[in-house]
Amino acid sequence: MKLTRIFTAIIAVAGLTLGASAYAADTTTLTPGQKAQVETIIHDYIMKNPDVVIEAVKGMQEKQFDQMRQKTQEVALKKAGDIFNAAIDPVVGNPKGKVTLVEFFDYQCPHCVDMAPAIEGLVKSNAGLRVVLKEFPIRGEVSVYAAKAALAANKQGKYWEFHQALMKSGSAAPLTDDSVLAAAKSVGLDMDKLKTDMNSDAVDQQVKGNYKLAQDLQLMGTPALFIAKTTLPKDATPTVIEFIPGQVDQKYLQSSIDKASH
């Protein structure tokens, strides 16, 4: 039921009350008494049929969401190289995979934490899957600290182990600087080198670059995922990209991966 149905019903009722001639004219010609009567009719109708308004608002929100999603997919095609093939990004799974999944995420995002097992499961069950992980820390200073620690861990070749440890830590309790460092120690990172790299200009610029890319893509939150059929990063640019805003389950992602692989 669309919003226009409300007005159709109102006009039908108003036609009986005010006379059809009143609605044939411009509403500015209504007398104050007629306007008050129309307002009463609208009020009474909405009070008796609140589901109509809820459904109309829901429909409008869904339309806006679809428009936003389509716009992001269009921009993604122009930014495909930055999304899928940035040489500095951490990559897990098969680096030469036929399909690439990109995730913008935050270690303190509960939806990202909930999705972590699904991402791990996809890496294990898809030999031809390449996963690019985009640090997008939007939940405060601890998120930024964790993101920089993860990128520093990547310089030691232990990004994935550290990433998994952080996600598991975040699922048990809110992250703190101390818990981030504890996760780093648990996977055997060189702590002195980690702290030095965390404060490096290169890591800082990488995080800022992800912010800029997310802004260009008009991402509204995390997780935000992109899936496309790819070959080697240096050889191909996707021509079809699926944008998935928000949390989905492993089955949904597997279906998207299967679709992209054909």
Residue 137 and residue 8 share a domain: no
Q: What DSSP string runs through 47-70?
A: HH-HHHHHHHHHHHHHHHHHHHHH
- Count of residues in the chain: 262
Domain that holds residue 25: 3-59
User: How many CA atoms within 13 Å lie on the side-chain side of 144?
Assistant: 10
Determine which of 38-42, 183-187, 192-196 has the lowest per-residue pLDDT on average.
38-42
Q: Tell me if 64 is assigned to some domain.
A: no
Q: Tell me if 69 is assigned to some domain.
A: no
Residue 140 and residue 169 share a domain: yes
Residue 105 and residue 216 share a domain: yes
Residue 224 and residue 186 share a domain: yes
pTM: 0.75
Return the CATH number at 183: 3.40.30.10
Percent over 90 (pLDDT), the chain: 63
Q: Which is more confidently placed, 60 or 109? A: 109
End-to-end distance of the chain based on CA atoms, in angstroms?
38
Task: Say how far residue 180 (Cα) sits from the centre of its chain.
Answer: 24
Task: Say how far residue 152 (Cα) sits from the centre of its chain.
Answer: 25
Average pLDDT for residues 22-47, to the nearest whole number? 70
> Which amino acid, one-letter code, is at 146?
A
Q: Which two tokens stand for residue 63?
A: 């339309």
Give me the number of domains the chain comprises: 2
Highest mean pLDDT, choosing among 17-31, 68-82, 91-105: 91-105
Q: Examine residue 223 and say whether the peptide bond preceding it is cis (omega within 30 degrees of 0).
A: yes
Q: Which is more confidently placed, 36 or 86? A: 86
Residue 47 and residue 146 share a domain: no
Residue 112 and residue 51 share a domain: no
Segment 126-179, tens digit of pLDDT: 999 999 999 999 999 999 999 999 999 999 999 999 999 999 998 888 999 999
Q: Which two tokens stand for residue 218?
A: 């008009």
Residue 193 and residue 102 share a domain: yes
Taking phi first (over 0 means left), then psi (-120 to 50 degrees means alpha), and beta for anything else, what does residue 223 get?
Answer: beta
- What pLDDT, on a 0 to 100 scale, did the predictor assign at position 20? 40
Q: Tell me if 67 is assigned to some domain.
A: no
Q: Examine residue 137 and say whether the peptide bond preceding it is cis (omega within 30 degrees of 0).
A: no
Q: Tell me if 19 is assigned to some domain.
A: yes
Q: Tell me if 228 is assigned to some domain.
A: yes
Q: How many other CB atoms are found less than 10 A from the CB of residue 69?
A: 15
Q: Measure the CA–CA gap between 193 and 189, rounded to whole angstroms.
A: 8
Q: Tell me if 184 is assigned to some domain.
A: yes
Q: Measure the CA–CA gap between 236 and 231, rounded to whole angstroms.
A: 6
Residue environment code for 235-258, b if the CB has 16+ CB neighbours within 10 A, otherwise e: eeebeebbbbbebbeeeebbebbe
Confidence band (pLDDT; 50, 70, 90) for 232? very low
Q: Tell me if 210 is assigned to some domain.
A: yes
Determine which of 6-20, 54-68, 73-87, 96-110 has the lowest per-residue pLDDT on average.
6-20
> Which amino acid, one-letter code, is at 104?
F
Residue 35 and residue 145 share a domain: no
Residue 83 and residue 23 share a domain: no
Confidence band (pLDDT; 50, 70, 90) for 45? confident
Q: Tell me if 209 is assigned to some domain.
A: yes
